[in-house]
Amino acid sequence: MSNGGVSKKDLTPIFNFQFWHILGETLFWLDTQTPFLYVSPRALVAQAWLTERSERRKKPMLKPAKDSLDLGILVSDIQASLEFYQKLLGLEFVGKTPVWFGTMHRLRFGSSDFKLIEPNTIPPRGAAGLEDQLGFRYVTFVIKNLSEVCSKLLSQGIEFALPEKEIRPGVRIAMVKDPDGNIVEFVELS
């Protein structure tokens, strides 16, 4: 292979190598007499740049402070929503906080905060259902007692968007509508 006009004494031996071909110049060659790959200084600069770029891609921009997401939902009737999420589903009430556009009622499921927001002015409703508009379409609760939850919701007259079913081996789901028609999904993994 061509060494790009660089003599062996100008090269740095390395064990872990990648093949580089920059601007038509070969910046490396394998010395068959030793177990080293000799690399020109320009190749080392290129390797450092590519490694740094690769490392930047691996590091996520977001650094999680907890292992879950929180969700805020504007509701039309805070009492009906608290009855559904807190009393019926059993989410824990954490607190009530005034915000610039209404009042936030924080509920908790696992380590996720589920924020029901009672707006100062109720905005118009968007399209309901999974496929009727773009954007966030449903919230998922991963649980251990799907059949029990479905039985209780049925007995309370809650409308199901999707009755309990197995969607693939080891995964059962059901979807219901909350008081505002938002889709709530329950998933059980076996």
Containing domain of residue 109, as a range? 63-124
For residues 21, 26, 30, 31, the Cα torsion angle rounded to the nearest 10 degrees is: -170
- Could you tell me the CA-to-CA distances from 93 to 100, 112, 133 in Å, in that order? 21, 12, 31
- Looking up residue 142, the CATH number of its domain turns out to be 3.10.180.10
Q: Is residue 180 part of a domain?
A: yes
Q: Do 69 and 49 belong together in one domain?
A: no
Pairing of strands 138-143, 183-189: parallel
Q: Is residue 2 part of a domain?
A: no
Q: How far is CA 160 from the centre of its chain?
A: 26
Q: Do 43 and 82 belong together in one domain?
A: no
Q: Is residue 190 part of a domain?
A: yes
Q: Is residue 1 part of a domain?
A: no
Q: Do 54 and 72 belong together in one domain?
A: no
Alpha-helical runs (H) found in the chain? 41-58, 78-82, 146-155
Q: Which tens digit of pLDDT belongs to each residue from 29-76?
A: 444 444 444 555 666 666 666 677 666 677 788 888 999 999 999 999
* For range 136-144, the mean pLDDT: 94
Helix, strand, or coil (residue 86)? helix
Q: Do 52 and 70 belong together in one domain?
A: no
Q: Is residue 3 part of a domain?
A: no
Does an H or E element contain 23, and which? none
Q: Do 149 and 95 belong together in one domain?
A: no
Q: Is residue 118 part of a domain?
A: yes
Whole-model pTM: value is 0.69
Number of domains within the chain: 3
Q: Which tens digit of pLDDT belongs to each residue from 152-182?
A: 999 999 999 999 999 999 999 999 999 999 9
Q: Which tens digit of pLDDT belongs to each residue from 5-20?
A: 555 455 444 444 444 4
Q: Do 53 and 81 belong together in one domain?
A: no
